[in-house]
Amino acid sequence: MQGLAGTAHAAYPQAVAGPGPEPDGRARAIRTYRMADRSETLDFEIRSHVIRAPVTLPHRHEFFQVEANLRGAAHHLISGKRCRYPERSLIFIMPYRVHCAAHEAADPDYYVINFASDFLRHDFKLSPLEMEEASIAQYPELTPFLYEGYVDFVFSESQFAHIRSIIDHLSQFNQNRRLGTLDRIRGAMLELIGFTVEVHADALQALSATRPYMQGRTDALRRVLKFIEEHLQRDISLNEVAEAAFLAPNYLSHLLKKQTGMAFVQWLTAQRLQRSQHLLAHTREKIAAVAHAVGFSDEAYFTRRFRQHFELSPSQYRKAAQPRG
């Protein structure tokens, strides 16, 4: 039985901070790449790593990506999780997942496969959030992408010889495109995915009942809450929070809407007002100071929003919260 992902998948400390802050302390922007940015064609590409310089900072892309490590020790950082990427292994990266690779070997050898979200099936119209929740019974081709980080997709020499054969065929097909070639490429990609699932079926089956990848949403929201709590006193944008939590802005927006029923700005305002409740009840700070501490620059606007939310003014709430006796 191929192994479940082990302790090597513990959260990678540097990942929490993202690609590093700007001089003003804000999170540095994480770039989202399109197929046109990283591929010669807009539907499918396979290439050796020597063809194009790798992206070494955390980034995301709109397309699916598979990497095949032929030689050399390496690891991937995907959504803040350190994933094993040893020799004779594959890495499957879902669209919009923040990631980067680190190849420790002096002379690595690996292939990169990029393909558009609707390349394997033209009816594929899932949003980023829907991809993360997809049923593998309905979308079996997503299986290794969903379980990346929970199963190590490592192969024996004989098994990887078959992987290498598929890679060679994909390269040949892609270099000599003609009528019917794209169908052969799709078939070869489905063989690559199907063979991976078959080899690791025991590990995948052991995890299928719990769907651990769904825990990723909880972890993501936890990172969002931590970032908000630490920066509540200043302006915060959706993009900034998403980057700090290793999420795509659209994904975070959909996730918050689904989990809370609120849009990002509405939810952020609610977090500010909830924090102000605590400060009003447990400190003697002036109302203007409380407003500034939770990110409102204008006391009158803070008072108006507080009253709208709690049907009491901040001073009335403070008075009501005082112990009686």
Among 200, 223, 196, 165, which residue's Cα sits nearest to residue 66?
A: 196
Higher pLDDT, 272 or 73: 272
pLDDT for the residue numbered 13: 31
pLDDT exceeds 50 at position 12: no
Token digits for 313? Answer: 């003014």
Higher pLDDT, 43 or 259: 43
What are the residue boundaries of the structural domains of the chain, listed by start? 7-209, 214-321
pLDDT exceeds 60 at position 16: no
Task: Kindly state the average pLDDT of the residues 193-217.
Answer: 87
Token digits for 125? Answer: 């119209």
pLDDT for the residue numbered 105: 65
| Range in 88-102, 126-140, 146-160 the model is least confident about | 126-140
Among 83, 80, 176, 95, which residue's Cα sits nearest to residue 142?
A: 95
| Range in 16-20, 141-145, 232-236, 240-244 the model is least confident about | 16-20
- The Cβ-side half-sphere exposure at 28, using a 13 Å CA radius, reads 13
Higher pLDDT, 162 or 103: 162
pLDDT for the residue numbered 140: 93
Higher pLDDT, 48 or 25: 48
Q: What is the mean pLDDT of the chain?
A: 84
pLDDT, one tens digit per residue, over 145-176 is 999 989 999 999 999 999 999 999 999 999 99
| Range in 21-25, 37-41, 251-255, 319-323 the model is least confident about | 21-25
Question: Quick one: angle between helices 215-231 and 264-282, nearest 10?
Answer: 60
pLDDT, one tens digit per residue, over 303-321 is 999 999 888 899 998 888 7
CATH 1.10.10.60 corresponds to the domain 214-321: yes
pLDDT for the residue numbered 9: 34
pLDDT, one tens digit per residue, over 283-309 is 999 999 999 999 999 999 999 999 998
Would you identify the CATH topology of the domain 7-209?
Jelly Rolls (2.60.120)
Q: Same topology for domains 7-209 and 214-321, yes or no?
A: no
Cβ partners under 8 Å of residue 138, min gap 6? none
Token digits for 20? Answer: 């590093």
